[in-house]
Amino acid sequence: MPSFRNKRHVRHSATDMFELVADVERYPEFVPLCESLRVRRKVASGEGVDILVADMSVAYKMFRESFTSRVTLDRPRLAITVEYLDGPFSRLENRWSFNPELERACHVEFFISYEFRSRTLGLLMGAMFDAAFRRFADAFEARADEVYGRQRVTGA
């Protein structure tokens, strides 16, 4: 099953990076392959945890696929998990964690594993998904620079 893991130091606070990734409705503006994203339902489950059900459409050239996920936004733990509900995959798991480092810096960890339901679709879209996931970290960091400005790291 294909998977991708990335851990990187960014010059933005963990809270800022969490909020940027949690703002899923903005993904079509900057996330590779994301053509549209619609939040169907949002439930505040208390203690800083929100659960979203969202539909995301990805597109590349003539290929378009949509899928539905449950997104858990856990602010106290600065963690985001994505659980697959419906679409072209047989399995999809995605996790983000944001670990404070200095005053205005953090480590962002991103993990995704997936498997297409159809072997043919996996062959057609698999390489494209792999390439997109490798560009995700850059896309989110560039978006943070755009939204929050380029940060100087302070502290020891």
The CATH number of whichever domain residue 77 belongs to comes to: 3.30.530.20
51 in any annotated domain: yes
| Two tokens, residue 127 | 């390489």
88 is in which domain, residue-wise? 3-148
- Sign of the alpha-carbon torsion through 129, 130, 132, 137: positive
153 in any annotated domain:
no
Total count of domains within the chain: 1
Q: Are 112 and 89 in contact (CB under 8 A)?
A: no
Q: Is residue 155 part of a domain?
A: no
- What does the alpha-carbon distance between residue 144 and residue 132 come to, in Å, rounded to a whole number? 18
Q: Which of 18-22, 90-94, 148-152 has the highest mean pLDDT?
A: 18-22
Residue 156 falls inside a structural domain:
no
Does residue 33 sit within a domain? yes
Please report whether residue 50 resides in a domain. yes
Kindly report whether the global pTM for this prediction surpasses the value 0.75: yes
Average pLDDT, the chain: 87
Q: What is the pLDDT, as a whole number, of residue 156?
A: 43
Does residue 105 sit within a domain?
Answer: yes
- The tens digit of pLDDT for each residue in 103-149 reads 789 999 999 888 888 777 677 666 676 677 778 878 998 999 999 98
Q: What confidence tier does 151 reach under pLDDT thresholds 50, 70, 90?
A: low
